[in-house]
Chain A
Amino acid sequence: GAVVSQHPSWVICKSGTSVKIECRSLDFQATTMFWYRQFPKQSLMLMATSNEGSKATYEQGVEKDKFLINHASLTLSTLTVTSAHPEDSSFYICSATFPGQGNYGYTFGSGTRLTVV
């Protein structure tokens, strides 16, 4: 089945630094990837949608200059949290899809727990 690998699974960084999270589709070509974040006791919220080779589309309220998304290939998308602050501490999860993936259509990564200190 379709597998999405997300790395790292957890990261601790200092305030003001940048962190990169990778999302890879292992056995399929992901034409579209999605990035979600989940704050404690809240639901998963879509941050942005990226299509391979084009700029990401960000949801309202998500700063595109702070959360840089690159989807340069059909198997890799990256999310870079720039100048991270404690309020960016959250659980980030990606999902990927491709045309014809069937009813389930979307495969989720295992998530990244980001803690900014």
Chain B
Amino acid sequence: KQEVTQIPAALSVPEGENLVLNCSFTDSAIYNLQWFRQDPGKGLTSLLLIQSSQREQTSGRLNASLDKSSGRSTLYIAASQPGDSATYLCAVRHSGNQFYFGTGTSLTVIP
């Protein structure tokens, strides 16, 4: 069974810092990996999706990498802002429809 782990569980950084969130998964036979943002009590906002054949994706200040063979992905956030404060979830999908979510990293960016 696929297990997805995110480290750290919580992170607090001063505004302007660059930071890295980590995601690891046990079964490398994935179809794709997706990073989401979840604000308190809200739904999910998709940030980046990496297909299994890709190594990284970039969107603005966000960069996500994927090393499928080692079962790892990182989300890099450059020049963090208070508005980046949220919980970040990674999720992997196999060829079926089910997402396997990590437990998330709660990020607080201090002004």
Contacts and interface: CB of A to CB of B under 8 A. Distances in A.
Interface of A: 6, 9-10, 32, 34, 36, 41-46, 49, 91, 93, 95, 97, 103-104, 106, 108-111, 113
B89 A46 contact: no
Interface stretch (B38-46, B64-72, B77-85): B38-46
Contact of A109 (B34, B43, B51): B43
Contact of B99 (A10, A32, A106, A113): A106
Contact of B97 (A9, A97, A113): A97
Contacts of A32: 97
8 contacts: A34-B98, A36-B101, A42-B103, A44-B99, A46-B98, A46-B99, A97-B97, A103-B51
Identify whether the interface residues of B are mostly helix, strand, loop, or mixed.
strand
A34 B44 contact: no
A34 B42 contact: no
Contacts of A106: 97, 99
